[in-house]
Structure 1
Amino acid sequence: MTHTYLNALLKSEKYDAARQIMLKERVFVTFDALRRHAGLAGLNAGQSLLDLGTADGALVKVAQSRGLYAVGLDVTDGINFETDRLPHDDDTFDTVTGVSLIEHLRSPNVMLNEIMRVLKPGGAAIFVTPNWRFSYRIFFNDPTHVHPYTDASMRFLLTGAGFDRVTVVPWLVCKPAWMWTIPLAFELARVIPFRWSQNPMIPEFLKGQSKSILAMAVKPEAAKNFEEPA
């Protein structure tokens, strides 16, 4: 995503500050639940978090309000995620997040290497990206989208990058963990019937249709760099 395009988004109604904090509170809770579901510690006070593609920094603010050491980076900070070294020391962060970021990169290899470098051993990288299987009709409506992924290709990418314990599930926000593990979970997420309903009589697990991927991968004790195939 270009500097100019991001600045335009940040000035749009979509990036109303109060609304973004509310949305990122739900994102934070979901990331916390995914870590716990995978057998890791939750996003607890005192941990460290780096948010890549941070936009207005709402997720960083939420994490800081919960007692985490949290920082964010985006193109507005002069960083190119496809080519640049992250301005952080090795083995610094417990969690690195990238929401709606990886699909904007033609090649994620440098970024994945850098995430691996700055994560602590046992730390987790968490990504959210559209699932091409369900979003192919509209994916390129955003002109800054350049690289689509499926649940299978995300698993392949993260495993090939040297990560362990790769988890790829539907992007379901604030839902019970069983919805990540049932057969045909991605298909179920796509057809949840009440996406925007505020009716209190409708169970929460029937709200929030999603066509996106939530992926998490853990840095092993001895990380290996990911290289382009010959």
Structure 2
Amino acid sequence: MSLKKEYFHFKLNKENNDVKRDSFAKREFDTISYILKQFYNVDLKKGFKILDLGAGDKFLEKIFDKNGILYHSLDIEDLDFEKDKFNFDDNQFDLIISLAVLEHLKNPDIFLQESMRVLKKDSLLFLSTPNWKYCKNSFFDDVTHVKPYTPESLQQLLEIKGFKEVMTMPNLRCKSKKWYQGKFRFFKAYYLLPFKGDTKFISDFLKGKSKGLFAIGKK
């Protein structure tokens, strides 16, 4: 393959990956926005200050910036979530999000204490993690997973750490309110949505199968 063709394929793949990345970020933003509005009557609005814990490559930064929300982040290159304090003053943030981080921490005490400290009064912590009840056979396939949670255990943990109005729900994306609530919400999200969200040639009505959970708590 010529250098020109190699460059073309590289550029095309990069553009495709950027489109997928932006689409995924918008999906996350829309889901978080919807859940906060529906269940806590909170609008993600211009001027909000948010902290993304475990931000990775900061793929959410662009979508928050686009909506006028002040984005800050911390990850493992910045600190040890199990030992270090966050380098922010008290009562700084309107929202903290942390997607797929908690299961990697042997001891979440400092992580949650610091989250509580830097949140403003009545502001929210939004977490996602695998749901042990539906991923027992695969949870430890990821060697970095060290601590599993059920909806009940995570709710208890957040309440012990002082969070109020704690809610747990399936980590579905962009579904109607009925999918996030009710006694059998986790069962429905796993068994009544048989296909993953990225499955091709399947109606959206049947997609979204969830093995994970969201947990939200208010300071």
Q: TM-score, normalised by structure 1?
A: 0.84
The code of the aligned residue for 1:52 comes to L
Identity %: 34
* 2:39 match: 38
Larger radius of gyration: 2
Write the mapping of 1:48-127 to structure 2, written as runs, cut at 5 A.
Answer: 48-77=49-78, 79-127=79-127
Once the two structures are overlaid, the 10-residue window that deviates more, 127-136 or 189-198, is 189-198
TM-fit CA distance, 1:198: 4.1
Q: In the alignment, does 2:194 pair up with 1:193?
A: yes
The code of the aligned residue for 1:57 comes to K
TM-fit CA distance, 1:136: 1.1
Segments ≥4 residues shifted beyond 6 Å: none
Specify the SS of the correspondent of 1:75: coil
Specify the SS of the correspondent of 1:103: helix
Partners of 2:109 and 2:19 lie apart in 1 by 34
The code of the aligned residue for 1:181 comes to Q
The code of the aligned residue for 2:20 comes to R
Specify the SS of the correspondent of 2:40: coil
Specify the SS of the correspondent of 2:27: helix
The code of the aligned residue for 2:25 comes to K
TM-fit CA distance, 1:44: 1.3
Once the two structures are overlaid, the 10-residue window that deviates more, 126-135 or 20-29, is 20-29
Contact 1:171 1:213 in 2 (8 A): yes
Partners of 2:128 and 2:199 lie apart in 1 by 23
* 1:140 match: 140
Specify the SS of the correspondent of 1:144: coil
Deviations 1:107-164 (A, max 9, x none): 1010101000000001100001000111111111111100000111110010111001
- Structure 1 portions without partners, runs of 5+: 1-12, 220-230
- Structure 2 portions without partners, runs of 5+: 1-13
Contact 1:176 1:205 in 2 (8 A): no
TM-fit CA distance, 1:18: 4.0
Contact 1:175 1:205 in 2 (8 A): no
Partners of 1:136 and 1:18 lie apart in 2 by 33
Please provide the CA RMSD for this pair: 1.6
